[in-house]
């Protein structure tokens, strides 16, 4: 019999487990570790205590093995809590406490680089957050002012690996490196641009290594150390490979929902994570994160003096049929909200029982998970849920989640998904480990929990923007106030001015190619007049769209660009999101299928982030059905009929002329809002307070020069 060792170092405990070649757990040892809440947002762990727990627990497991078992251990691996960091000297001694993944003390620093947030997200796949390691490492550097020659910036797993591996190797696996928010997903290495941005250039960082690799040997035992990963990245593999149509939810101190991605693409409010890497390949996950899971129940136990929730929660769920709605902001709202200014609170409840409060907190975890799940389901179908982690052992919680999501749910019988996953990777991913016992929960009609879910969702969606935040700006047809609209000059000028988002229009030419122009004629923007549909793309590109009525001959000649030309240009600016509006006139002329198939084909070759937008309901629905592209529907009216249609269509974004919108909060929903065409900064701020996430403007330069609009600029979507 072959055996494999998994080390699982979590927020509250360290475990060392032994698995046999069939994936059965044979033995385990564990050690409790402490978490210190220094003050609000400052959460630390003792570096030496954590290291002693890893080394001591692993040694205890090794000492408990028989000689036959010890000689048959073929590999080992480790999974750790992500985003926790410290400083370490060249001898492996910690020179700072561990700043926990929950720690957000460096949040203010991120405001100073807010103009670069979208750049950071495009490089790392992660929305900018103080939970990740980069800002915490910067804080440690500022506080300790370490010698660059002797001090190393250390993700938590690197601290353990340095002491676990016989040759004191300073390294980090790809999944943990990414969680520092200093890691480039294109190069799979540290980003010089981000190191400079965070002021961390010149410091020593660990060598980036695939999750599955020959790391060395475990504690000079001769046992090959073959795998390392973040706890949630490992949990995905806890029952072997996760099917493409299945989302995994792992409920520990924090909770996560993850699904495999068919191809890597930006996720905006959701995360792109490394699922697996070796020397030859890398695969990715779409991930949503909930900060308050087990930590929320611990918070509630202390805050409201509740009995032990692990013992009583299932009974409470059976007993309480109408719990209050709890806004679970414990540890800050994670995806897709990314806010720290919301306080944990019960809605509209003055006096409720302790049991009802406990159920409300448990449901709030499910509400947060379901919001992320719904966003994932827009990208690709999800037909089944798989649940793991400590809280998953509560049957009532599983049934509530199945009812809320409307999906059948498989609960992994063994809650140790993280340890089993890293053991499976270390073992070489054997086929037989998929045969794990699961309990199935079939969704039942439950109108009450859905109603509570929508109360929770509406509360969060209608919150005013964070204090001091401003909307993201979108260049309308480029920088059309100063350049001929929809031309490469106009688009380049908007990019040069610092626009994080660019909108432009697309029509189909006579030869079936797509060109960038707003009207279905050249009458307004060219000297030569005529129908776009009567000329080939080559003939159109030979015309000059220098807009002579507006700019005379200042920009002559200025060709009408092909869509592919604009996409090729924007590929050099991955920090810029494109909003590609396909015009209804082309669909009327050539038919919906022909135009949309061509658009999807051209966009499929484009790697930078983009959205397909249109006034056509049918066009947006077509894109949703035939691709995984993100979509925005442009409203012709802002009324009840269009709201109902939007709720049926469920686009990623809604766009509307600001003049059609009443002076009241915008419709809540899973979508975000863009309003056009706003030219005055004060008006942009006014509509941002009503819920507009993006403001489309013809005059990007004026907007970007406004002091109030740019004070504390956020990256938007």
Report the pLDDT averaged over residues 699-705: 83
Q: What is the pLDDT of residue 716?
A: 33
Residue 169 carries which DSSP code? -
What's the pLDDT at 548?
A: 96
Q: Does 321 have pLDDT greater than 50?
A: yes
Strand partners, 438: 412
Q: What is the pLDDT of residue 344?
A: 94
Helix (H) or strand (E) holding 3: strand 3-9
How many whole angstroms separate alpha carbon 85 and alpha carbon 103?
10
What is the residue-wise DSSP string for 531-574?
BGGGS-HHHHHTSB---HHHHTTTT-S-BPPBHHHHHHHHTT-T
Peptide linkage before 225 cis (omega within 30 of 0): no
- Residue 646: pLDDT above 60? yes
Per-residue confidence band for 415, with pLDDT thresholds at 50, 70 and 90? low
pLDDT of residue 712: 42
CB 646 within 8 A of CB 671: yes
Percentage of the chain beyond pLDDT 70 is 96
**Mean pLDDT computed over 643-665:** 93
What is the predicted pLDDT for the residue at 652? 87
- Lowest-confidence pick of 71-80, 353-362, 686-695, 699-708: 699-708
Instruction: Say which CATH architecture domain 3-234 belongs to.
Output: 2-Layer Sandwich (3.30)
> What's the rounded Cα separation, in Å, for the pair 294 and 314?
15
Beta strand pairing call for 653-657 and 212-217: unpaired
pLDDT: which is higher, 95 or 605 = 95
3-state SS assignment for residue 193: helix
pLDDT value of residue 105: 94
Give 669's pLDDT tier (boundaries 50, 70, 90): confident
Classified by CATH at the fold level, domain 246-461 comes out as Nucleotidyltransferase; domain 5 (3.30.420)
**Res 337: pLDDT:** 85
Contact 231, 252 (CB under 8 A): yes
pLDDT confidence tier of residue 704, bands split at 50, 70 and 90: confident
Q: Please give the class, per CATH, of domain 472-521+562-710.
A: alpha beta
- For the chain, how many residues are written? 717
Integer Cα distance of 386 and 420 in angstroms: 15
pLDDT at position 40: 85
User: Quick check: 605 pLDDT over 90?
Assistant: no
Distance, CA of 439 to CA of 33 (rounded, Å) = 31
Of 58-67, 254-263, 350-359, 501-510, where does mean pLDDT reach its minimum? 254-263
Describe the chain by its helix, strand, coil percentages, rounded to 5. Answer: 35, 25, 40
CA distance 99 to 353: 36
Binned at pLDDT 50, 70 and 90, residue 267 comes out as low
Q: Calculate the average pLDDT of the chain.
A: 91
Residue indicated by tokens 């051209």:
602
**pLDDT band, residue 113 (cuts 50/70/90):** confident
Six token digits for residue 138: 């910067």
Write out pLDDT tens, residues 67-98.
999 999 999 999 999 999 999 999 999 999 99
Q: What is the largest CA-CA distance in the chain?
A: 89
Lowest-pLDDT choice from 11-20, 85-94, 152-161, 695-704? 695-704
Q: Are 469 and 446 in contact (CB under 8 A)?
A: no
pLDDT at residue 711 is higher than 60 = no
What mean pLDDT is predicted for residues 222-230? 97
The 3-state DSSP class for residue 441 equals strand
Percentage, residues of the chain above pLDDT 90? 69
All CATH 3.30.420.40 domain ranges of the chain, comma separated, are 3-234, 246-461
Phi, psi dihedral angles at 607 (to 5 degrees):
-90, -25
Separation CA 441–CA 447 (nearest Å): 17
The per-residue pLDDT for 710 is 62
Most confident among 49-53, 288-292, 328-332, 675-679 (mean pLDDT): 49-53
Q: Using CA atoms, how far apart are residues 708 and 458, in angstroms rounded to an integer? A: 29
Q: Which residues neighbour 267 within 8 Å (Cβ) at sequence distance 6 or greater?
A: 125, 286
Listed in order, the ranges of the chain carrying CATH 3.20.20.190 are: 472-521+562-710
Looking only at the bridges linking them, the beta strands covering 171-173 and 207-209 are: parallel
State residue 350's pLDDT score. Answer: 72
Q: How far is 236 from 252, CA to CA, in rounded Å?
A: 14
In angstroms, the CA 354 to CA 298 distance is 14
Asked if 139 contacts 109 with a C-beta cutoff of 8 angstroms, the reply is yes
Closest CA to 6 of 437, 431, 416, 433: 416
Asked if the model's pLDDT at residue 608 lies above 70, the reply is no
Distance CA 195, CA 197 (A): 5
Mean pLDDT of 504-513: 98
Mean pLDDT of 383-389: 91
Burial of 181 from C-beta contacts in 10 A (0-12 / 13-18 / 19+): buried
Residues with a catalytic annotation lie at 476, 518
DSSP secondary structure, 88-137, as one string: EETTS-B-S-EE-TT--TTHHHHHHTGGGHHHHHHHHSS---TTSHHHHH
The CA-based dihedral angle spanning residues 317, 322, 324, 327, taken in that order and rounded to the nearest 10 degrees: 60
The residue ranking higher by pLDDT, 463 or 281, is 281
pLDDT at residue 85, as a whole number:
97
pLDDT of 468 reads: 62
Does residue 118 register a pLDDT over 80?
no
């Amino acid at each position: 019999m072959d055996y494999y060792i998994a080390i699982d170092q979590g927020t509250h405990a360290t475990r060392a487990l032994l698995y046999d070649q069939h994936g059965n757990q044979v033995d385990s040892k564990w050690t409790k570790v402490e978490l210190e809440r220094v003050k609000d947002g400052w959460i630390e762990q003792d570096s030496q205590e954590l290291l002693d727990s890893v080394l001591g627990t692993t040694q205890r497991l090794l000492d408990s093995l028989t000689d036959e078992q010890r000689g048959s251990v073929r590999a080992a691996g480790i999974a750790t809590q992500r985003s926790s960091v410290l400083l370490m000297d060249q001898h492996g001694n910690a020179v700072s406490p561990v700043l926990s993944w929950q720690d957000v003390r460096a949040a203010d620093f991120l405001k100073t680089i807010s103009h670069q947030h979208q750049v950071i997200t495009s490089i790392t796949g992660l929305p900018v957050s103080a939970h990740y390691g980069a800002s915490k490492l910067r804080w440690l550097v500022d506080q300790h002012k370490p010698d660059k020659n002797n001090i190393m910036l250390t993700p938590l797993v690197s601290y353990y690996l340095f002491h676990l591996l016989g040759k004191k190797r300073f390294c980090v696996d790809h999944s943990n490196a990414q969680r520092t928010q200093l890691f480039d997903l294109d190069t799979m290495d540290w980003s010089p641009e981000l190191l400079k941005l965070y002021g961390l250039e010149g410091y020593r960082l660990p060598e980036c290594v695939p999750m599955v690799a020959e790391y060395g040997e475990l504690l000079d035992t001769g046992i090959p150390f073959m795998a390392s990963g973040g706890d949630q990245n490992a949990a995905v593999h806890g029952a072997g490979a996760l099917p493409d149509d299945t989302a995994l939810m792992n409920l520990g101190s924090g909770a996560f929902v993850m699904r495999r991605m068919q191809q890597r693409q930006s996720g905006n409010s959701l995360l792109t994570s490394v699922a697996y890497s070796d020397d030859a390949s890398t695969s990715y996950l779409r991930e949503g994160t909930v900060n308050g899971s087990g930590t929320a129940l611990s918070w509630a136990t202390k805050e409201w003096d509740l009995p032990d929730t692990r013992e009583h929660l299932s009974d409470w769920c059976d007993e309480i049929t109408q719990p209050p709605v709890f806004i679970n902001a414990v540890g800050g709202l994670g995806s897709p909200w990314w806010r720290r200014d919301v306080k944990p609170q019960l809605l509209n409840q003055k006096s409720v029982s302790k049991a009802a409060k406990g159920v409300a907190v448990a449901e709030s975890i499910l509400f947060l998970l379901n919001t992320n799940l719904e966003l994932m389901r827009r990208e690709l179908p999800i037909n089944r849920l798989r649940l793991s982690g400590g809280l998953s052992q509560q049957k009532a919680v599983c049934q509530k989640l199945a009812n809320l999501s409307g999906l059948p749910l498989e609960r992994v019988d063994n809650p140790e998904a993280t340890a089993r996953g890293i053991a499976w990777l270390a073992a070489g991913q054997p086929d037989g480990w998929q045969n794990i016992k699961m309990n199935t929960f079939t969704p039942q009609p439950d109108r009450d929990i859905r109603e509570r879910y929508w109360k929770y969702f509406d509360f969060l969606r209608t919150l005013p923007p964070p204090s001091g935040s401003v909307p993201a700006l979108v260049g309308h047809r480029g920088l059309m106030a100063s350049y001929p609209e929809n031309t490469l000059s106009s688009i380049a000028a908007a990019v040069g001015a610092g626009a994080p988002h660019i909108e432009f229009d697309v029509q189909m030419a006579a030869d079936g190619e797509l060109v960038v122009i707003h009207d279905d004629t050249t009458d307004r923007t060219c000297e030569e007049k005529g129908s776009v549909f009567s000329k080939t793309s080559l003939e159109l590109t030979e015309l000059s769209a220098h807009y002579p009525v507006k700019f005379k001959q200042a920009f002559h000649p200025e060709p009408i660009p092909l869509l592919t030309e604009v996409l090729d240009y924007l590929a050099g600016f991955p920090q810029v999101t494109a909003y590609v509006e396909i015009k209804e006139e082309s669909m009327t002329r050539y038919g919906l299928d022909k135009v949309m198939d061509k658009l999807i084909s051209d966009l499929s070759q484009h790697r930078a982030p983009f959205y397909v937008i249109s006034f056509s309901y049918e066009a947006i629905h077509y894109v949703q059905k035939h691709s995984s592209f993100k979509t925005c529907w442009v409203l012709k009216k802002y009324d009840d009929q269009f709201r109902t249609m939007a709720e049926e269509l469920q686009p990623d974004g809604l766009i509307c002329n600001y003049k059609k919108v009443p002076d009241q909060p915008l419709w809540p929903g899973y979508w975000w809002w863009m309003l056009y065409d706003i030219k005055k900064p004060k008006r942009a701020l006014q509509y941002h307070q009503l819920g507009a996430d993006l403001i489309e403007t013809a005059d990007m330069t004026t907007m970007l020069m406004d002091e109030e609009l740019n004070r504390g600029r956020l990256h938007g979507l």
